Structure 1
Amino acid sequence: MPTISNKGHQMPASPIRKLVPYAEQATKDGKHIYYLNIGQPDIKTPEVALNAVKNNDIDILSYSRSEGSEEYRFKLAHYYNKHGIKVTHEDIIVTTGASEALLFLFSSIMDPNDEVIISEPFYANYIAFSTANGVKVVPAICNIDDNFALPSVETFEKLITPKTKAILICNPGNPTGALYSKEEVEQLAALAIKHDLFLVADEVYREFIYDGDKHYSIMQVDGIDEHAVIIDSVSKRYSMCGARVGCLVSKNKVVMQTVLKFAQARLSPPTYAQIASEAALETPQSYFDEVINEYVQRRNTLITELRKIEGVKVAKPKGAFYCIVELPVKNTDDFAQWLLEKFDINGETIMVAPAGGFYSTPGQGYNQIRIAYVLNQESLIKAVHILKEALKVYKD
């Protein structure tokens, strides 16, 4: 019988999606599920984006340019300039989601057995992208007890070896909601320059910052042009996860020329989705003001309710719409499956994301879950009540 590759064996299953079969069975059994496991906002997509697709007069749905349509990239550059990120359309390559941007970047800047330092816990698919390229993840470990603050620059520097090619951060963070300050970003930038590394920032949650804080991009740092790469997406910003449009932004010409070769190999990003994404850039600020206000209320409600449960520890997010919750159980993989298979209150249960998959360090995160507060406040209160009652009866 033919065999699959070692890479195929090593590719991890998604901690967010691997419980889907159990959720589907629970639904068939008549249970109502509160989905806390995935960052799919219930916020409506801006009408301007939807109307751009509904009302267009395209006769032939043709390829776009491999780097994305020029008109869209011009408008993206204008968006970034408004946020203090000084780039032109030539510094942007449009991709099929932020995921493809990271895959192209890893393929462009790292060879098998090279290393990337990532603040941990991190978006689970970073491991998948690394595995796909034979790259080793070196974690810079953050801790729930200090709200998942970024480790010191000294900690990062100790992790650098001759194999290190890049440092990757998500700011604000998925799965923690941590927000990194201007000072922290500048310190990492200085470290990248000192050791001639790439500094990569996944900034897809840039718009979701709370409590009066401000987002500071790596590309706002002076002297970072040859080292900095931004990964971005329309998925969360405009509640357009299904569009699958992201981009890679860098002023490093060699990086961009190399990424473009990978982009050419997959031909082009989706045309209709680019039309919607271009139109989404016209979304008024009032949309974001309302969305951010809603997420702040959801966050506050969720944190308040979780902290009422004995034995539960939760970090308070400063951005994005996720939080890590530590539970008084040994293995949240088993607990999450049990919630779907064997527990309900009046026919209702919850689906959570076990946090072990957001760590590369063996043994870490197995008593934690990630909650995405993408449900309304009433649903969040009900979901936390279900969690509270489940913990009373669950046996490890």
Structure 2
Amino acid sequence: MPSISKKGFSMPESPIRKLVPYAEKAKKEGVKVIHLNIGQPDIKTPKIALDAVKNNTISVLSYSRTEGSEAYREKLARYYANHDIEVTAQDILVTTGGSEALSFTMGSIADSDDEIIIPEPFYANYNGFATAMGVTVVPVVSQIDNNFALPPIEAFEKLITPRTKAILICNPGNPTGYLYTREEIKKIAAIAKKHDLFLISDEVYREFTYDGKEHYSILQEPGMDEHAIIVDSVSKRYSMCGARIGCMVSKNKDVMKTALKFAQARLSPPTYAQIASEAALETPLSYFEDVKKEYVSRRNLLIGELEKIEGIKIGHPQGAFYCIAELPIKDTDVFAQWLLEEFRVDGETVMVAPAAGFYASEGLGKNQIRIAYVLDKDRLKRAVFILKEALKSYKDQ
């Protein structure tokens, strides 16, 4: 029998999606499943984006340019300028979601077995992108006890080897909701320059910062033109996860020239989704103001309710719409499956994302879960109540 690749065997399962069969089985049995596991916002997509697709006059749905339409990239450049990030359309490559931007980035800067340092916990699919590209993830641990702040500079420098090509951060963070301060960005940028590394920043949650705090991009930091690569996406910003439009942004011409070759191999990003994404850039600021207020309200309710549960430790998010909760149990993978298979409160249960999949270090995150607060407050409150009752009933395994 033919065998599959070693790479295929080593590809990690998604900690977010691997429990879906259990959730679907529960639903078929009439159980109502409250989803805390996935960052799919319930916020409505801007009408201007949907109308742009509905009302277009395309007669032939043709390929777009490999790098994305010029009109869209020009408008993206103006969007970044409004955030004090000075780039041109030539510094932008439109991709099929932020996922493709990350894959192109890794493929462009790293060879097989080269290393990328990433503060953990991190977005679980970074493991998958790295495996697909033959890149080795080198984790540097951030701690829930200090709210997942940037690890000490010494911790990074101890990990740098001749094979280290880049440092990758997510700002604000998924799964932690941590927002790096300007001072932290300056410190990590200084490491990149000192050791001649790339600094990759996943900034898809840029708009969602709370408590009066502001986002500071790596491309706002002086002297980073040759080092900085931004990964971005419309998915969360405009509640357009299904559009699958992202982009890669860098002033490093060699990086962008190389990434374009990867992009040519997949031909072009989707045309209709670019039309929607271009229109979405006209979304009024009031949209984001309202969305931020809603997420702050949800975050405050979620944290307040979780803090009532004995034995739970919680990270306090300052951005995005996730938080990490540490539970008084041994293995949240087992717990999450038990919730879906066995536990019910009046015909309802909750689906959570076990956090071990957000780490690269073996054994870390086993007693943690990621919660996405993308549901209305009534559903969030109900979900935390069910979680509280589940913890009372659960027999640790």
Task: State the TM-score, normalized to the length of structure 2.
Answer: 0.99
Q: Which amino acid aligns with 1:125?
A: N
Q: Secondary structure at the match of 2:60?
A: coil
Cα offsets for 1:342-364 (capped at 9, x unmatched): 01100010000000000000100
Instruction: Tell me the equivalent position of 1:303.
Output: 303
Q: Secondary structure at the match of 1:117?
A: strand
Instruction: Tell me the equivalent position of 2:331.
Output: 331
Q: Map of 1:218-297 to 2, 5 A cutoff?
A: 218-297=218-297
C-alpha displacement at 1:330, in angstroms? 0.5
Instruction: Tell me the equivalent position of 1:43.
Output: 43
Q: Percent identity?
A: 71
Q: Secondary structure at the match of 1:168?
A: strand
Instruction: Tell me the equivalent position of 1:28.
Output: 28
Quick one: distance in 2 between partners of 1:82 and 1:116?
30
Q: Which amino acid aligns with 2:388?
A: K
C-alpha displacement at 1:237, in angstroms? 0.1
| 2:364 is aligned with 1:364 | yes
Quick one: distance in 1 between partners of 2:328 and 2:188?
35
Quick one: distance in 2 between partners of 1:114 and 1:198?
13
C-alpha displacement at 1:140, in angstroms? 1.1
C-alpha displacement at 1:36, in angstroms? 0.3
Instruction: Tell me the equivalent position of 1:172.
Output: 172
* Number of aligned residues: 396
Cα offsets for 1:118-150 (capped at 9, x unmatched): 010000000001101111111110011111111
Instruction: Tell me the equivalent position of 1:377.
Output: 377
Instruction: Tell me the equivalent position of 2:120.
Output: 120
Q: Secondary structure at the match of 1:111?
A: coil
Instruction: Tell me the equivalent position of 2:107.
Output: 107
Give structure 1 regions of 4+ aligned residues with deviation exceeding 4 angstroms.
none
Quick one: distance in 2 between partners of 1:296 and 1:208?
9
Q: Secondary structure at the match of 2:344?
A: coil
C-alpha displacement at 1:73, in angstroms? 0.1
C-alpha displacement at 1:155, in angstroms? 1.4
Q: Which amino acid aligns with 1:367?
A: N
Instruction: Tell me the equivalent position of 1:344.
Output: 344
Instruction: Tell me the equivalent position of 1:66.
Output: 66
Instruction: Tell me the equivalent position of 1:145.
Output: 145
C-alpha displacement at 1:154, in angstroms? 1.7
Q: Secondary structure at the match of 1:148?
A: coil
Quick one: distance in 2 between partners of 1:369 and 1:190?
33
Q: Which amino acid aligns with 2:228?
A: A
Instruction: Tell me the equivalent position of 1:353.
Output: 353
Q: Which amino acid aligns with 1:76?
A: L
Quick one: distance in 2 between partners of 1:253 and 1:277?
25
Quick one: distance in 2 between partners of 1:171 and 1:140?
16
C-alpha displacement at 1:95, in angstroms? 0.1
Unaligned runs of 5+ in 1: none
Quick one: distance in 2 between partners of 1:48 and 1:29?
39
Q: Secondary structure at the match of 1:371?
A: strand
Unaligned runs of 5+ in 2: none
Cα offsets for 1:211-252 (capped at 9, x unmatched): 000000000011100000000000000000000000000000
Quick one: distance in 1 between partners of 2:373 and 2:180?
20
Instruction: Tell me the equivalent position of 1:193.
Output: 193
C-alpha displacement at 1:3, in angstroms? 0.2
Q: Secondary structure at the match of 1:210?
A: coil
C-alpha displacement at 1:372, in angstroms? 0.1
Task: State the TM-score, normalized to the length of structure 1.
Answer: 1.00
C-alpha displacement at 1:152, in angstroms? 1.4
C-alpha displacement at 1:40, in angstroms? 0.1
Quick one: distance in 2 between partners of 1:246 and 1:388?
38
Cα offsets for 1:5-31 (capped at 9, x unmatched): 100000000000000000000000101
Cα offsets for 1:195-217 (capped at 9, x unmatched): 00000000000000000000000
